[in-house]
Amino acid sequence: MRRGRADARGQAKWELLRLGVAARFERGGRTEDIARYLRVTARSVRRWRHAWHTGGPEALRARGPMAVERLSPAQWERLGRELKRGPLAYGFKDESQGCSPKRITLVIGRLFHVGYTIQGAPPRFERAGAYAAGAGAGRGGHRGMKAEV
């Protein structure tokens, strides 16, 4: 399970954590102890230590988002309107699955010519409000969700 967040709040949280680690490095804290305290891998702490050693505390600052958002806010709004039309509007014969992540990625591809992976799509859809959480409970998690935007 991922612990971090791709949004600005999550990045700020991890940046503060890394900057706090700089003080531990200055006091000579052991990599394994720091990793255990922060519940991160020793490899991450070694990477941070190397960055700190070569560039000081400034090197531990966040460098911005890891990826540029592929859809604009206006496109997310349009997607929400399109999903309200239902699966039959896009040629899906079985309406029982509603707006599954697989179907939503296909609709995004058809509308905007942009690709999303099925695994990476649900968190972005939830942040954009493309569908309500809480419908599917099994391994699929997001099956059967209806568009709400």
pLDDT, residue 36, reads 93
Quote the pLDDT of residue 148.
Answer: 43
pLDDT of residue 69: 75
- Alpha carbon separation from 97 to 25, 65, 88, 127, 136 (Å, rounded): 52, 33, 11, 21, 10
Domain boundaries, the chain: 8-60, 69-149
CA distance 137 to 52: 43
Burial class (CB in 10 A: 0-12, 13-18, 19+), 128: middle
**CA separation, residue 104 to residues 17, 47, 107 (Å):** 35, 37, 5
C-alpha 37, offset from chain centre: 24
Q: Using one digit for the tens of pLDDT, what is the confidence trace for 74-103?
A: 888 888 888 788 788 877 877 776 777 788
Give the pLDDT score at 50: 94
Mean pLDDT by 10 residues, the chain (149 residues): 57 83 92 92 93 89 70 84 81 74 84 80 64 41 44
pTM of the model: 0.45
With beta carbons less than 8 A apart as the criterion, state whether 119 and 113 touch: no
Neighbour tally for 42: CB within 10 Å:
14
Residue 105's H or E segment, with its range, is: helix 101-112
93 with 55: CB under 8 angstroms? no
